[in-house]
Structure 1
Amino acid sequence: MFRELFSNPARRDAVIATGMAIALYALFLYLDAYDRFAAFMKGHESWELDEIILAIFLSGLSGFVYAWRRLLDLKREAKRRSEAEGEALWFAYHDPLTRLPNRHYVDGRMNGRNKNATSPVSVFAIDLDGFKKVNDLVGHHGGDALLTTVAERLRQLFPEDTVIRMGGDEFCVLSQTPADAAEEMAERMVDLLSRPVIIGGIQVEVGTSVGIGHNHDRKERLQTVMEQADLAMYAAKRRGRNGVCVFEASMREILTERVRLETELREAVRAGVIRPHYQPLIHLDGGKIHGFEALARWTDKSGNAVSPAVFIEIAEEAGLITDLSGQLLRQACLDALSWPSETRLAFNISPAQLTDRLLGLRIIQILGETGFPPRRLEIEITETAVVRELATATQTIEELKRIGIHIVLDDFGTGYSSLSQLSNMSFDEIKIDRSFMNSLGEEDSKQTKIVRAIVGLSQGLGITTTAEGIEQLSQLERIKELGCNLGQGYLFGKAMPANHVAGFLAGRNAQEADVRLGR
């Protein structure tokens, strides 16, 4: 008891002061101090001791008032300091923009309080698809407004659960949603977060990838379940926009390799080591070179060639595709300046780029920087991407055609575009997907009928047709009979580095000269 009483300095001082006051009172009472003092003052009236004592008393009273006011100031200062410390602590564990708990909240509090979850917990890891493009379109203030809207929607969907902003465009929800209802909840989340938002009079929208981790046996650490949800989220992103995926053990190995490739890809983009190679496009009537299609090629640190189907997908998911595409187009334009003036450059646009409303301006800017003539550039857009991003695709196509760039509908026949979309978007060329070449056969075969219909449609609309994947003479003869204009494939030449193009052009021109001279 006495230890607790004297542990507080203020309480200890109060006890000591009270004890001293009681001791002095007892002493003065024993010595009859007041009567003696009164007699002394009466005997020395000329000393004016009563006035001196009054002055001392008033001074003491003033000191007491000062001390009381100072005590009030100290209490106010302590309160302000406590509030400031509380606010600093709040900001340490919360995101000031969205007012949600942040990553430090998870690391410093949730793990400390719930090292082992005692009740079923579903963790949702959320990543916004296409957020960087929104930032480019409406600026960082607009991006902040979108993040705030996303936070509000998540709070509405999970009013009783913990919603966390992990950083950037990533969020996390620690939920009591049962495992058997988690996927349905994730689908509702995707639908809610993907709805358009009006920012500064501009309608913007983002996709959402959601990964789900579960604490099935009630013994998993919260951090482990969150890592599982992250792995599932990356798997969902690989499946495409607005994907939902539940964690599986096999995802760890896949993600490890994916992270390695993404790290190397970031370094490669930063160093500019991914280069365009060029595959020839040939006029089927006469064999003259129409142009070259630029195709990205990358060799990783171990010396292995990485398939474009792999690293382009990673670039899209990691938000690197805009920088990578810009680098490749800029280099391709510079390389193509050395080609004959009538030789075209064909360049592919990633489906992910078609959600970027600034895409047309980016391409026009690169043409201005390099001095490459717009009339010599062909931009290839896949049919599937056009259908999925119809409004943005229409805007981009109009911007590019306005300055003379040719627009090519790539991989035609594999998507779901309608005839009205084809006519409204004014394509200059259609590329028949290589899958039709692989099975191009007899006159009455299904593939032959489809190709004939595509060529007939193109001729009716006044559009050039190009056949991809021509590898055999029989395919070449068949596609020429069907009326196709241009061809591309290993039969004419594989993709080659820029320093081989001049030799290819010279050899091709020599062949054409021999044909004209009858050699």
Structure 2
Amino acid sequence: MEWDRQRGTEGMTPSETRQRGNRWTLLICVGAILLFIGLGIAVISGVLDHRYFGGAPVERSLVFALLINAVLVYVGWRRHRAVEIEMHGRSAAEERARMLALRDPLTGFLNRRALSEAGAALLGAASRRDQAVALMIVDLDHFKMVNDMHGHDTGDAVLRAVAQAIAGVMPAAALTARFGGDAFACAFVFDARDPSTADHVASRVIAALSQPIEIDDLRIHLTSSIGVARSDFDGAGIDTLLRSADIAMYCAKKSGRGGITWFNRAMEHALIDRNDIENGLRLAIPAGQIVPYFEPQIDLTTGRLCGFEVLARWIHPTQGVIPPDRFIPVAEESGLIAELSLSIMRQAFAAARDWDPTLSLSVNISPTQLRDAWLAQKIIKATVEGGFAPNRLEIEITESALFDNLALAQSIVGSLKNQGVRLALDDFGTGYSSLAHLRALPFDRIKIDKSFVLSLLDNADSAAIVNAIIGLGANLNLPVTAEGVETDTIAERLAALGCAKAQGWNYGKPLSIADTRRMLAARGLLHTGTTDPDLSDLTIRRQVG
């Protein structure tokens, strides 16, 4: 056997070495005690014989030997007890270390490492019995609010109660784990021919965690989202199952929280596509691949072109034009929307600097951007760098953008209004459509969502809503723009109702910078008629990118 320096003796751990040494100490103590008994009997017999029967006195060497032996017995016994106490303490410490290595100290559930090991064994056992393993990821919804409102001690108590509730509804031999935070995992064997068993267990977890949790004088209500994966469909390995269940859990949260979602391959493909989009955006924005397109806006009274709404398009080098509904949500989730929006604005302002000054630009601002206290300064800086007059700019915001921080939004809008920028309330009618929001900010225009405009002629409710919004705008002296106008008939109806402006495919699809310049040049609305549109487009993109 190879000598192991770290283990202290040949093939033995430090614990085994201590146990071996303690056994030798115990043997020496036993031998000393036996010797002490023998010497004691001899000394006592000699003393009694000398005192009562006139025998020879006890030899001093025998008495000294007895005393020395007594000291050795005492010292040895003390040493044995000390070693025993030390071993007990070390064993308890080793047991605690083992528990910490395999268990969550707060709930007593398995940790991720232990679940991986036990889960692999569970998968093997299920496979041998022609059964499947269901793995659930359970995540508490909005648990951060519990910590923020009541403190982390209360949060820990809630997590312990949640763990007890989960353990109480799990089938026998199920594995339960906590991954830290408010994420739990459960794995159990079920009959693959009857997946309703797993559904039933998941439903019991949802029901158990929906019950109020009482901590001291607090009564806390929680909901949970669960993602479920099964070994016979979604992966034979425990790590693959964990990943699949985690993807399903996030889909459950996106679907409204408080529900159960089974994993399917479409979720994985969607996740891969989303990650590809995000990674692509991080390269595309500085490379100038995200470019502005311009949707014409028409004055319904005169029929004159009065401006454009600026839209984003991704001109991908291999995939062609990527529509905004694919990359704008990803940009908002990943925090790239502010960089993307400012890039689009810079390009649009630079492109429109030599357009007819009567033409305005409308630009959408996301709720995320309104959390930036320096947004107004960034927008004004972009207009200055692009040579674009701020009074030709109209910023569009939705009602939902006002909920997070109305005071900050008012400050940003106030700074923009001081520079001559106008403000429009976008998609009015789809949100709360509250008059309080119209009073909260100094809006200059209301925009009707296209969902009402498209069904204006076919749906009496949509017609009533459009009529009411236009009437409200007239009463508040706020002109109204209708989005999604696709036919002359709808345009005529809107004009008859008193709508001021319209935009939509009835007036042309959104155009690139080059196509917009050609159109403006043909109408005499471009003040540099000798500039080649394609060359101008390339120059602008170089300036901003």
Q: TM-score by structure 2 length? A: 0.61
Distance 2:315 2:157 in 1: 39
Long gaps (5+) in structure 2 = 1-18, 40-45, 47-58, 190-195, 214-219, 384-389, 528-545
Q: More deviation in 207-216 or 261-270?
A: 207-216
Residue in 2 aligned with 1:40? Answer: none
Residue in 2 aligned with 1:91? Answer: 100
Shift of 1:65: 4.8
Residue in 1 aligned with 2:185? Answer: 172
Distance 2:30 2:106 in 1: 56
Deviations 1:160-204 (Å, cap 9, x if unpaired)? 24653335664334589955645654654786799xxxxxxxxx9
Residue in 2 aligned with 1:462? Answer: 477
Distance 1:143 1:295 in 2: 44
Deviations 1:399-441 (Å, cap 9, x if unpaired)? 544544666443334x363555555555724322223443444
Residue in 2 aligned with 1:78? Answer: 87
Shift of 1:261: 0.8
Any residues of structure 2 matched to 1:52-201 within 5 Å, and which? 65-95=74-104, 101-112=110-121, 115-116=124-125, 124-127=136-139, 148=156, 151-152=159-160, 154-155=162-163, 157-158=165-166, 160=168, 161=170, 164-166=177-179, 170-173=183-186, 179=198, 181-182=200-201, 184-185=203-204, 188=207
Distance 2:114 2:465 in 1: 59
- Aligned residue among 273, 284, 293 for 1:261: 273
Shift of 1:232: 3.6
Aligned partners of 2:376 and 2:412 also within 8 Å: no
SS in 2 for 1:89: helix
- Aligned residue among 407, 410, 417 for 2:426: 410
**Total equivalences in the alignment:** 448
Distance 2:346 2:202 in 1: 49
Residue in 2 aligned with 1:233? Answer: 249
Residue identity in the other structure for 1:89: R
Residue identity in the other structure for 1:392: D
Please state if 1:481 is matched with 2:496.
Answer: yes
Deviations 1:451-501 (Å, cap 9, x if unpaired)? 23321122223333222223445544443333223333345554456x649
Aligned partners of 2:294 and 2:516 also within 8 Å: no
- Aligned residue among 513, 517, 533 for 1:503: 517
Distance 2:516 2:106 in 1: 55
CA change 1:506–1:246 in 2 (3 A) is: closer
Distance 2:35 2:157 in 1: 71
- Aligned residue among 251, 257, 277 for 2:292: 277
- Aligned residue among 366, 370, 388 for 1:349: 366
Residue identity in the other structure for 2:310: E
Aligned partners of 2:427 and 2:447 also within 8 Å: yes
Residue in 1 aligned with 2:319? Answer: 303
Residue in 2 aligned with 1:356? Answer: none
Q: TM-score by structure 1 length? A: 0.63
Shift of 1:267: 1.7
SS in 2 for 1:86: helix
Shift of 1:107: 0.9
Residue in 1 aligned with 2:217? Answer: none
Distance 1:345 1:102 in 2: 53
Distance 2:446 2:324 in 1: 22
Any residues of structure 2 matched to 1:261-410 within 5 Å, and which? 261-271=273-283, 273=285, 275-280=290-295, 282-284=297-299, 285=301, 287-290=304-307, 292-295=309-312, 297=314, 299=316, 303=319, 305-313=321-329, 319-320=333-334, 323-335=335-347, 338=350, 339-340=352-353, 343-349=360-366, 360-362=370-372, 364-368=373-377, 371-372=381-382, 376=393, 378-381=395-398, 385=400, 391-392=403-404, 394=406, 397-398=409-410, 400-404=412-416, 408-410=424-426
Aligned partners of 2:482 and 2:501 also within 8 Å: yes
Aligned residues with identical type, % of pairs: 22
Aligned partners of 1:122 and 1:182 also within 8 Å: no
Residue identity in the other structure for 1:125: I
Residue identity in the other structure for 1:256: E
Long gaps (5+) in structure 1 = 1-7, 29-34, 36-48, 195-203, 354-358, 514-519
